[in-house]
Amino acid sequence: MIETRALKKSFGPQSILDGVDLQIETGESAVIIGRSGGGKSVLLKHLIGLLQPDSGEVLVDGENISRMNERQLLHVREKFGMVFQGAALFDSMTVAENVAFPLERKRKFTAGEICTRVAKALEVVDLPGTEKKKPAELSGGMRKRVGLARAIVYEPQIILYDEPTTGLDPIVSDSIDKLIIRVRDHFKVTTVVVTHDMRSARRVGNHVMLLHEKKMYAHGTPDEIFNSQDAIVRQFIDGVADPQEILF
């Protein structure tokens, strides 16, 4: 289970999160929605300890990670896989080397086992046979798939997705959504997706949270959120700049 309590974070004078409380149960598929620049990615990075809060707590399976140092966090991060907005593939390595990276770092697999696992992970993300390609040779969607293969190859318990469909066309976005669902069901992982793509949020999540004005404004099942009559929630879901344009 992942939990944050009164999480606050500022960058210089600019406050990004101001007392965020959230709770994500094991096996749940949580989607955090909110406006661009609203602190969704910052919140996600706190869940895996990439950022340290100014105050408040982040608990992963009951363990407070908010005051751990980098070495202590390495142990906690073995539970996590993360897919970055820009995929964050190591551009000096091939696709196979990227996917094999976490396994090679663990130093407990033979070369044969690594090869088999890499091929299997690439098959799960529908990219078999791309092992020898460099990230620069791949399209945006393919890069995200490789990023996902790298995140699932060591079979983590929790997978975090940072804007998985941003910058992709609707067809590729759809395939990424299906992939997220397939990975969730196949590996039985806890999934946390940060997005402002409403279609993706509705399909992928079974728990939707709206981050608004630096706080967790609303949360519930996709039906509860998407049928909400709250002006702020509706404004975001309907995608209108002026709240007066909302038609209930």
Write the CB contacts of 219 (distance below 8 Å, at least 6 apart in sequence): 22, 207, 208, 209, 210, 225
Q: Note whether 77 binds another protein by CB under 8 A.
A: yes
Which amino acid belongs to residue 21? D
Q: Which is nearer to another protein, 37 or 71 (CB)?
A: 71
Footprint (CB under 8 A) of another protein, residues 183-242: none
Calpha distance 177→201 (Å, rounded): 9
Considering the complex, state which of residue 75 and residue 199 has its C-beta at the smaller distance from another protein.
Answer: 75
Residue 75 binding another protein, by CB under 8 A: yes
Binding-site size for another protein (CB under 8 A) equals 25
Q: Which of 4, 28, 58 is nearest to 157 (CA)?
A: 28
- Regarding 143 and contact with another protein (CB under 8 A), the answer is no
Q: Mask 91-130, x = binds another protein (CB under 8 A)?
A: x---------xx--x-------------------------
Tokens for 167, please give them.
């910058």
- Binding of another protein at residue 67 (CB under 8 A)? no
Q: Given the rule CB under 8 A, which of 56-64, 65-73, 118-126, 164-172 is the region that contacts another protein?
A: 65-73
CA distance readout (Å), 45 to 101, 115, 145: 21, 30, 20
Q: Which of 61, 64, 90, 231 binds another protein (CB under 8 A)?
A: 90
200's CB contacts (< 8 A; 6+ apart) are: 31, 164, 165, 173, 176, 177, 193
5 is an interface residue for another protein by CB under 8 A: no
Note whether 170 binds another protein by CB under 8 A: no
Which one of residues 14, 37, 62, 71 is an interface residue with another protein (CB under 8 A)?
71
Q: Using an 8 Å Cβ cutoff, are 105 and 78 in contact? A: no
Q: Which is nearer to another protein, 77 or 219 (CB)?
A: 77
Q: What is the dihedral of CA 14, 69, 49, 64, to 10 degrees?
A: -100
Residue list 14-33, contact with another protein (CB under 8 A): none
Handedness of CA 73, 145, 141, 166 (dihedral sign): negative
Is residue 47 at the binding interface for another protein, with CB under 8 A as the rule? no
Q: Which residues bind another protein (CB under 8 A)?
A: 45, 48, 50, 70-71, 73-75, 77-78, 80-82, 84-86, 88-91, 101-102, 105, 150-151
